[in-house]
Structure 1
């Protein structure tokens, strides 16, 4: 079941975590105590989960994932998610804001997003869980004179281990082509600018290359054109707003930068095979 509001709920770190970091290990009982987990929401911080035991079901941006033991999950600040079901699970959790992230790690996280839950080996689980335990112990040493700096350092080490798993999976460590670098830069620029500018020429100019070359790079590495990526990103945001808010379709179109409501409606139908209202009615209980 989902709850509609005027806008998508954004949860912030609780007041007791005013340093911008929260880390711990939890059984399923603690997850059930948190009602926010049952409803679609997003965070203003980065969310890292290591599942040690059991089976859980997450919905992340309209896609359901079954997660078994020995898996890592990274949820970026903008991603809409909720817990659908959990069976006898135990998990480690790190919530951390961007200010506490090493700049290089923050850049890499932006580049690999959005990610999917990732199974890992028992060997890597052992290393990551031990690092989690170090972070948890440091998190509880609040009287230490170097509390925040040591906690930040340990949490960034933990994040580097998460990144290593995702980078290894996507083969981004060893082979980086010119096409790949340009596609990566385009996707980063798109995430920041898709509402205010939807022209391929704008992104090509920002990257100091021609539109045909940008299209060649993006199509070669992703299978989709620049225009398709722009439209997919816009439609994803439209789906989020339709699903998680009570704004009208016309309000959503305007929020996404479309003064021409009819054009936005046609684009939504072309991309999804249904009208925006049909999508909302189909996905609401």
Structure 2
């Protein structure tokens, strides 16, 4: 059973120079090397992992991925994850705060979240790996007058290379249909307001659309209604809190914007297919 906590554990990247950037290369042979590797957690920064060698099994928001090098993983601060297993791993890890990210890259990362691990072609891996190595060298030059600028700009170049791989996997904006453009905008607004806004009309108002048209766009693109997506996002956060914290179901309901605890319980059961307590018990065994 996970260690009891009052909230989802957050790993804070130590930074002696308070630069808001941490980059390192790690080589490990087995899971026992990391004392806290099997504890699910979030990060306080945007995290990028370049898997140079080995294999990793990781769970991200209750979905399991098996990854083989060469590959890259981007993790948004909202995403909860834990390492299930790995073998003979060499990984370059970058953590960077919102303040240090190029604003255009930050917006792009917000738009592509959530993401999945990506396998890399040999030529793509080569340039990303070379850039990561350069960033590691920058991180060692702490006595340079422009140390922070060098490190920030180098790491932003690394972020751009990784983000571009995710963008390549998706449709470009000029190829999106009107329905897809609206759905993308809805998802962005949903991520910001799902704890406070539960009615489709609230989202259509924020997007200056009629509720019927918003629902038509979202349903045409995804196959599901606006209400379905709102409920799914709320229940995902509830699952995170049920598994990774020791808060009661009533406390979780309140945190997610539901004063009517019985209603929240019924909603969770409908969406998850089991009660909140059953979910906690099943996943903590």
**TM bucket, shorter chain:** over 0.9
- Corresponding position: 1:13 with 2:24: no
The question of whether the paired residues in 2 share the 8 Å contact of 1:46 and 1:97 is answered with yes
4+ aligned runs moved over 6 Å, structure 1: none
With the length of structure 1 as denominator, give the TM-score of the two structures: 0.96
Runs of 5+ consecutive residues of structure 2 not aligned to the other structure: none
The normalised TM-score by structure 2 is 0.96
Distance 1:268 1:242, change over 3 A: same
- For 1:171 and 1:158, the matched residues in 2 are separated by 22
Distance (whole Å) between structure 2 residues aligned to residue 135 and residue 230 of structure 1: 40
Aligned to 1:125: 125
Aligned with 2:148: secondary structure? helix
Q: Unaligned 5+ residue runs, structure 1? A: none
Match for residue 146 of structure 1?
Answer: 146
Alpha-carbon separation, structure 1, partners of 2:22 and 2:132 = 11
Distance 2:102 2:78 in 1: 19
Q: How many corresponding residue pairs?
A: 285
SS at match of 2:16: helix
- SS in structure 2 of the partner of residue 19 of structure 1: coil
Secondary structure in structure 2 of the residue aligned to 1:142: coil
Is the deviation greater in 66-75 or in 163-172?
A: 163-172
Contact 1:196 1:257 (C-alpha < 8 Å) held by counterparts: yes
Q: Secondary structure, in 3 states, of the residue corresponding to 1:35?
A: coil
Is 1:246 the counterpart of 2:255? The answer is no
Per-residue Cα deviation, 1:81-100 (whole angstroms, up to 9, x for no partner): 11111101111111111110
In the alignment, the residues of structure 1 paired with residue 92 and residue 230 of structure 2 have an alpha-carbon distance, to the nearest angstrom, of 35
The alignment's C-alpha RMSD in Å is 1.5
Structure 1 residue aligned with 2:177: 177
In structure 1, the partner of 2:258 is 258
C-alpha displacement of 1:174: 5.3
State the distance in 2 between where 1:197 and 1:48 align. Answer: 31
Give the match's secondary structure for 1:37: coil
